[in-house]
Amino acid sequence: MNRSLEGVHAVIAGGSRGIGYAIAVRLASLGASLTLMSRDRERLFAAVEQLGEGVLCDAQVCDVADAGSVVRAFEAIGRAGHRTAILINSAGIATSARFAAIDQATWESALRVNLGGVFHCTQAALPSLLAAPFGRIVNIASTAGLVGYRYLAAYCAAKHGVVGLTRALALELADTRVTVNAVCPGHTETELVRDAIGNIVARTGKSPEQARAALAARNPQRRLIEPAEVAATVAWLCSPESHSITGQAISVSGGEV
């Protein structure tokens, strides 16, 4: 088996479900030890248990939008003896609404979680990443960080910010052993997409099957992306051999972007 990450510790913000959990499974299969972070305690500990006894994994209840919560989580990770070499920023939320209907709370929440969370976690993890033999930051953005989508103005703004932050930080760290990249999935089989399907049904009167087909039609391959496909791309970026790959925003979208 490929155990290229044996002895490497990875922190996965938003690791309790969806793409984050798929990344946890993939990195664990490569030998990495893990800390999963989520603000949902029940989901978080269920995810750790689901990974199984053979995986070295612990959990930190953490709200990535809260700088203090993030600092406390990383302090606890350090006290546990972990030296973080990989940071995956996968926590995210999405709310669909016409631009004119977006209220202040929705706008600020989208920015705090999707963009602020990346900022807080990266600042907290950076000293450990710089001290590691090699360090990897992978931000889970979205095709919404590369193009616009109707009714997702707040989400698009935040994810474009994530891509910009990725590119800027990659240049700042180019003379270190730390790389910084973004992975930009298209519509992926996660709870976010299931929520989007529900919104389409409520707004248009389409059936769930029609709503799903409408989302899949944006992908030239006419399908939704699987979380494991995103995780495979992330794992490649986390490998020791990927050192020359930095500042990239890699679309995983069947050719949509």
Residues labelled as active-site residues: 155
**Cα angle 4, 249, 113; round to 5:** 95
Q: How many residues does the chain have?
A: 257
Angle at 178 between CA 17 and CA 181, to 5 degrees: 50
Alpha-carbon distance 15 to 51, whole Å? 11
Q: Are residues 170 and 181 in contact, defined by beta-carbon separation less than 8 angstroms?
A: yes
Closest residue by Cα to residue 46 from 31, 61, 33 = 61
Task: List the beta bridge partners of residue 45.
Answer: none
Q: For CA atoms 57, 63, 66, 69, give the dihedral sign.
A: negative
**CA dist., res. 176 & res. 9, Å (int):** 18
List 35's β-bridge partners, or say none.
11, 58
Q: How many CB atoms lie within 10 A of CB 243?
A: 12
Q: For residue 14, give the amino acid letter.
A: G
Where would I find the beta strands (DSSP E) of 129-237?
135-140, 178-185
